[in-house]
Structure 1
């Protein structure tokens, strides 16, 4: 039988009683009003302690009354301090642009960064070029440059490098314009204006003022300073430093430069451009209004060539900017780019003088002969090593008639050698008579020792011009050939664990090959002279024969491999031409027959020869008279 469940009233009464008991207990344990006040105080103290120890977690609540009374006072004091320091230009320091932020100005080949502080270029990057260790070419970076104007304003001496400019970047067609204004108010300012065009290394630059004639002391010029520490960019710091220099143009087209001393200075007037050349890269400041005067300083920063240096030279130029009608107004240009003759010459500002192609006739030969020839060959040949070889062959072929004359003279002297030796023995005690008879022999035979020197001297301008050309050819930079990875630098095939003075810490192969070729050439040309009896006062030809290759080996070890390649190929071709002339062109028997025929012909002396003969005869008579007096 199933028991039916019924509602249990006793259980319900029990639950109600328990609930009532709990409520009563809570009521009895509730804190009094005094206890609540005390607990609140305790919690407030603990909260204050937490706020003091962990301000980041619980920020303090600002007191409105203190803020509203202190901030205006702080701003007022700051503004007063700025005015005491900067005068009217304190306004510029209160603008949002009063930071060291930079504005980028760039095109497809050049990137410039201009800082608000100072308003000048603090970074200049050539986008399409790398250094020897494959990093971008920075002409300006990491504080290595400075451009500053110093002037008097409100009885204070101010420097723009310490002041803040307000940037404004705009476009004018394809050109990008950056205006940097150092403001004394919204309508009173000093402005640097930069304008960069597409595909250009040169940018327009202007310095101008507006409404500052009552602020700046315009009775004295503003003193401008441009400084640059030249970054190292080549493998050989000694070689790069040799071509790193400061140049300038002055007085309507004249140009000058500072030498390679440890510290050199110079002054110039009416300067139209200043260039800081770093072998293959150059920074130039040009002005339409010449600087009335300028002072230049160049300091060599490479104290020890064995130690890798970050900088090569420190350049500083100082020049005044004069006020006209109370304002500054100078139209200028900046150039940051390659030391490339074609690019610099294209600006038609005489900037091609920056490239050291040689002075006088040497520069003319390079500009109007070798430069066009090199450029023309580059349009047909892609390998610059082959271009050097072809160019050398063409030059040697052009000079081969001169070399033929030189070798012909040497052949005549070789044939006359027995007779000259006989004269020397016969008149060994009478130098004057020996000289007379020797000259008679030369005259009858139609030979002259100077005939071999003149062709050699005629070739010197060509050799020196090429010596200047190859190290300055920008197109050779980072162009490889055979084992040389850069024809504008040395071609190292082995690194030495030590440094040899004048030689370096590596071994270059092209100078070794060139030295061998020069030695063989010297053996062929001086061997005949060495076989002749050494005349008093004549240089030791054997010494010269060994000295020339040694100079090539030692000093050209750090030179451009393109130059060493030229000397190697040039001497190899010269040796080949001499062998061809000797064995296939000249016939010594025919030369001897012509000499004998000339001896038989009556020789007429010109006025100069007659005069020289008379002088020598008189000298001989005077000598005989003196000897007779000594005997008495």
Structure 2
């Protein structure tokens, strides 16, 4: 009995999918020159930081000395008076009884914050309901990894808020807790940082205001707000987490952009509305009601060797140029410290979903309006692993008409194979004539390799949308299924005593099973027309048949196991659909009879077919004349 085979052209779509995977995986890899430049830039940045630290050392020491002298006997200390004169009115705030070293706690059901009196900024930000891969509470700010410094001119001196002491005041109401941090020049003149945290959630109001500083605060001089953050590692795979750790922002009337995820990058933008120091599944964001006039963004990849455990992923920076009005500083803003979750971001209605890598164009649209709502619905009452399987089933059923057309075209090509072989034999050596007769026969039969390829191409947007969805799906984080303890990370079943380039130092099981399923699918589909590989211009189908599963096996070993689970389920369902279509729905004898019947009917060629036929006839005529 003849083996039932499949059209090789249906695999063109799958080849393109493999190319997309390779492109995405390799495009971000820095070249040797970029690595050398990165090292040089890092050394230069370190030298610059050292110089800046030395310049700040004197002012910091003076400030600390001021506090110590004031505590001992500020009224009688001549040295203290000299220091006070050097530092100006704002330094005096460090000597007030209420402005001294210490922290103020601000918290709700989801977020715990500690705000330092020195600098008036958050020195600890902890998410109460989330832990890292090793069960440690998730900290976005801790141990000096972040700073917020307002640099301004007062009394002909350039001052930095991070070196000065603020006076805290806490008030509570039914809806929020408010912390006011005041940097005082006098009892009635001050610079205020104001934090208002609601009873739940991760977004809080934040404002910077000045009051009674006429004649002290020099608003004619440049004033900048410098936000720096070094992102902590939170996931098991540093490679995977760092790939999706990136600085993104909105500027100039809802335009969106991002810095490079590798190496060192910087960009200066106008009218910036918000910025996100994204750390894969967690985000630190600053939003403003009054767009910042100009912002210089910087990003440095801190992962020098992905084979070695590391504490930090990226060093982010945003230097914002402020524009005081009428001699006063007034900016109403928001701060967000929490999950990078599409559903949470959408609640704020400020385009924050653009801070997530959901894909551009149609891919992002499919994710936002189909994949995310559908998965959100399924995961609301099903375990995450089962929800992935059900999502796959729904998608495959929706795409089954496309797959049916793909297989129907392949079946027609199989039925035509004896006649196509006869055409090649009859016109052997005359490739032009073979092409003419082949196109004519395919036109009469309503069959074409292109008709088998197009349905496969139509599935690529869905494939790519899912490829971008799973790495960003917060609902998969730390959700277990079978042997996988976290569907947002790899499902390690064995540890290797060495590191294999591109593969890693462990073995993940879901990619292995998915590779086997892909290989089985390709064996079924490619066996149908394996002879076509011998035709001129056709790729080596056997090579592709082995290469595609190899891509899955190697490059998905460090990817989210949820993505590999999807591909495993998808290919198993595809195999099942193919068997049903092949053995139950499609009758090749009826297809053959229909083709023979169509041959008897006059068939009108479309404009493209007529044009192609004319071109081929002209080429054949020129060839005859040449002989």
TM-score greater than 0.5 by the shorter chain: yes
CA contact (8 A) 2:74 2:80 kept: no
- Give the equivalent residue in structure 2 for 1:417: 417
Give me the TM-score of the superposition, normalised by structure 2: 0.87
- Give the equivalent residue in structure 2 for 1:46: none
CA distance in 1 between counterparts of 2:157 and 2:623 reads 84
The structure with more radius of gyration: 1
What aligned pairs does 1:218-367 form with structure 2 within 5 A after superposition?
A: 218-367=219-368
CA contact (8 A) 2:499 2:505 kept: yes
- Helix, strand or coil for the counterpart of 2:543? helix
Q: Deviations over 1:29-61 (max 9, x none)?
A: xxxxxxxxxxxxxxxxxxxxxxxxxxxxxxxxx
C-alpha RMSD of the superposition? 1.6
- Helix, strand or coil for the counterpart of 2:220? coil
What aligned pairs does 1:428-507 form with structure 2 within 5 A after superposition?
A: 428-507=428-507
- Give the equivalent residue in structure 2 for 1:80: 82
1:537 aligns with 2:537: yes
- Helix, strand or coil for the counterpart of 1:299? strand
Q: Deviations over 1:508-547 (max 9, x none)?
A: 0000000000001111112223223522222221111111
- Give the equivalent residue in structure 2 for 1:103: 104
- Helix, strand or coil for the counterpart of 1:573? helix
CA distance in 2 between counterparts of 1:322 and 1:395 reads 51
CA contact (8 A) 2:514 2:565 kept: yes
Unpaired segments ≥5 residues, structure 2 = 1-68
- Helix, strand or coil for the counterpart of 2:196? strand
- Give the equivalent residue in structure 1 for 2:590: 590
Q: Deviations over 1:118-162 (max 9, x none)?
A: 111111000000000001000000111011111122222211111
CA contact (8 A) 1:220 1:322 kept: no
Cα distance 1:154–1:533, how it changes in 2: closer, same or farther (>3 A)? closer
CA distance in 2 between counterparts of 1:321 and 1:96 reads 31
Cα distance 1:594–1:72, how it changes in 2: closer, same or farther (>3 A)? closer
Cα distance 1:585–1:152, how it changes in 2: closer, same or farther (>3 A)? same
Q: Deviations over 1:368-392 (max 9, x none)?
A: 11212112212332x1111111111
- Helix, strand or coil for the counterpart of 1:208? strand
CA distance in 1 between counterparts of 2:289 and 2:264 reads 30
- Helix, strand or coil for the counterpart of 1:402? helix
**Runs of 4+ off more than 3 Å:** 70-74, 97-100, 425-428
1:378 aligns with 2:379: yes
Measure how far apart 1:172 and its partner are.
Answer: 2.7
CA contact (8 A) 1:275 1:285 kept: yes
CA contact (8 A) 1:515 1:550 kept: yes
CA contact (8 A) 1:276 1:283 kept: yes
- Helix, strand or coil for the counterpart of 1:532? helix
CA distance in 2 between counterparts of 1:204 and 1:71 reads 40
- Give the equivalent residue in structure 2 for 1:566: 566
CA contact (8 A) 1:221 1:323 kept: no
Measure how far apart 1:191 and its partner are.
Answer: 0.6
- Helix, strand or coil for the counterpart of 1:185? coil
Measure how far apart 1:174 and its partner are.
Answer: 3.8
CA distance in 1 between counterparts of 2:322 and 2:581 reads 66
- Give the equivalent residue in structure 1 for 2:172: 171
Measure how far apart 1:419 and its partner are.
Answer: 2.3
CA contact (8 A) 2:533 2:539 kept: no
CA distance in 1 between counterparts of 2:157 and 2:567 reads 62
- Helix, strand or coil for the counterpart of 2:169? strand
- Count residues with an aligned counterpart: 557
Cα distance 1:452–1:380, how it changes in 2: closer, same or farther (>3 A)? same
CA distance in 2 between counterparts of 1:417 and 1:533 reads 14
- Give the equivalent residue in structure 2 for 1:13: none
Q: Deviations over 1:546-600 (max 9, x none)?
A: 1110000000001111110000000000001101111111111111111111122
Unpaired segments ≥5 residues, structure 1 = 1-66
- Helix, strand or coil for the counterpart of 1:318? strand
CA contact (8 A) 2:256 2:354 kept: yes
Measure how far apart 1:73 and its partner are.
Answer: 7.6
Cα distance 1:624–1:129, how it changes in 2: closer, same or farther (>3 A)? same
Give me the TM-score of the superposition, normalised by structure 1: 0.86
CA distance in 2 between counterparts of 1:199 and 1:615 reads 71
Measure how far apart 1:71 and its partner are.
Answer: 5.1
Structure number with higher relative contact order (C-alpha < 8 Å, ≥ 6 residues apart): 2
- Helix, strand or coil for the counterpart of 2:246? strand
- Helix, strand or coil for the counterpart of 1:292? strand
